[in-house]
A and B are shown apart, each in its own frame.
Chain A
Amino acid sequence: NAGVTQTPKFQVLKTGQSMTLQCAQDMNHEYMSWYRQDPGMGLRLIHYSVGAGITDQGEVPNGYNVSRSTTEDFPLRLLSAAPSQTSVYFCASSGVRTGSPYEQYFGPGTRLTVT
């Protein structure tokens, strides 16, 4: 089991560029989420999904899009990068059938800098 994987680990973008952060899990979890963590802060929910084909907005969704076409994958798209999106991005998953739904498994994170 690889758990939750994220690519890339590091990324530098120029203002206005777009990109997709990849997230995949091999635990057959229904629930997946994207969070961002700014220095010295807690994690803030961007978007989440309760199953393939179903997504919803979290606390800070502006400037980001998601889709969930398979159970395994949950990519996060930055539409037009801004310096305010400089952050560490974490993907997480949890499941009802395969473990506690309250225990979220986090990927290693993507460190994004927008110049």
Chain B
Amino acid sequence: GQSLEQPSEVTAVEGAIVQINCTYQTSGFYGLSWYQQHDGGAPTFLSYNALDGLEETGRFSSFLSRSDSYGYLLLQELQMKDSASYFCAADTGRRALTFGSGTRLQVQP
């Protein structure tokens, strides 16, 4: 089967750095994506890692270690608008994704 594990909730203060971890077990793996979803909204794409290492996009970075079946999303200089749910998702080669259950991030002033 396919499974992706991530923490259910994380709380941090404005301006801080937070890391959201994701471990995966999938049959077939091409890469790990991260999506953001605000309450009542649709998921929006943040990043994708096909290779080991760190990818940086502005305040957000994502890391992948294939040997450890592990990745994380790093959010820097947290802002109130970053309060949302964050999902890791595995690309298993079908051009459709297998999602984790999501991490709810609460940013406090």
Count residues of chain B with CB under 8 A from any CB of chain A: 24
Count residues of chain A with CB under 8 A from any CB of chain B: 28
Structural contact, A108 and B97, CB atoms closer than 8 A: no
Please judge, given known A-B contacts A41-B101, A42-B101, A43-B87, whether A106 and B42 are in contact too, CB under 8 Å: yes
Q: Answer whether residue A112 sits at the interface, using C-beta atoms and an 8 A cutoff.
A: no
Q: Please give, as numbers and ranges, the residues of chain A lying within 8 Å of B99 by CB-CB distance.
A: 35, 42-44
Q: Answer whether residue B100 sits at the interface, using C-beta atoms and an 8 A cutoff.
A: yes
Q: Please give, as numbers and ranges, the residues of chain A lying within 8 Å of B97 by CB-CB distance.
A: 33, 43, 45, 104
Interface-facing stretch out of A19-27, A79-87, A94-102: A94-102
Which residues between 37 and 84 of chain A lie within 8 Å of chain B, taking CB atoms? 40-45, 48, 50, 56, 58-59
Structural contact, B42 and A42, CB atoms closer than 8 A: no
Closest to B8 in A: A40
Structural contact, B87 and A106, CB atoms closer than 8 A: no
Closest to A103 in B: B45
Residues of B within 8 A of A (CB): 2, 4, 31, 33, 35, 41-45, 48, 50, 87, 89, 91, 94-102
- Sampled A-B contacts (14; CB under 8 Å): A31-B96, A33-B95, A41-B101, A42-B4, A42-B101, A43-B43, A45-B98, A48-B95, A59-B2, A101-B95, A102-B91, A103-B45, A103-B48, A106-B43
